[in-house]
Every structure is written in structure tokens, then in C-alpha cells.
Amino acid sequence: QCTDKKVNEITPLLFARASTPQDMVKLSVEEIREIIRPCGLSPMKSKGIHGLSRMILEEHGGEVPADMAALEAMPGVGHKTASVVMVQAFGVPAFPVDTHIHRLAWRWTLSTGK
């Protein structure tokens, strides 16, 4: 995984090469992997970035969908990432929860774990 500090260093490098889905699919998976390599898990993440960029173009007319199910259907996008997109891009009220918070809430009986 990757720290916020490292993500904030790598993101401008990636977006300097490709800041739209149209530009991202022009890069090869290998090119994306080399840019994001310092963040770890780059083989899997680069395939996800390329695949979701293609999916945005082919299935959503080049626009990020404002729908949880559509977001979660994209490569590399889970419930937390989809929730963050819904909150940040579309102003939908949500509370993104990672695995660790989810586990603690269950242990402390603050949630049913579902």
C-alpha cells in the first residue's frame, strides 16, 4: 500500500502524462506501472487504472458514473473507493469505511459487521 505523502508525490506525475480517461488509455499498462511503482502493488493497480479508464469511455460516455453499483463494477474499485468518489465528486452524503474501521466497529458492537 502507500502513504498519503507518497500518493501526493506520484499523482502529479501520473496526471502530467494522462489526466483524463481518454489520455490514460493511450498509455500502456506498463507505462502506468512504472509511474506508480513507488506506491506498491503497481502491477495490479496499473491494470485497474487502465481498465477502469477504458470502462469509463466505453460504458459511461467518458464520464465517471454517479452510481455506487457502476463504480464498484470497475476494475480495482471497491466499496470504500466508490464511497469516496460519491462523496468527493458528487456530494452524496456517505461515510467511507476501510477494513480496519469496519473490524473495530464490529468488535466494539457498534455495527453488525455487514
Mind listing the domains of the chain with CATH numbers?
4-107 (1.10.340.30)
Classify burial at 60, counting beta carbons within 10 Å of its beta carbon; exposed 0-12, middle 13-18, buried 19 or more: middle
pLDDT higher at 2 or 8: 8
The reported pLDDT for the residue numbered 114 is 65
Catalytic residue among 6, 47, 67, 80: 80
**Number of other CB atoms surrounding residue 28 within 10 Å:** 11
Q: Does residue 4 carry a catalytic annotation?
A: no
**Number of other CB atoms surrounding residue 114 within 10 Å:** 5
Asked if residue 22 has pLDDT above 80, the reply is yes
The reported pLDDT for the residue numbered 97 is 85
7 within 8 A of 39, measured Cβ to Cβ = yes
Q: Does residue 26 carry a catalytic annotation?
A: no
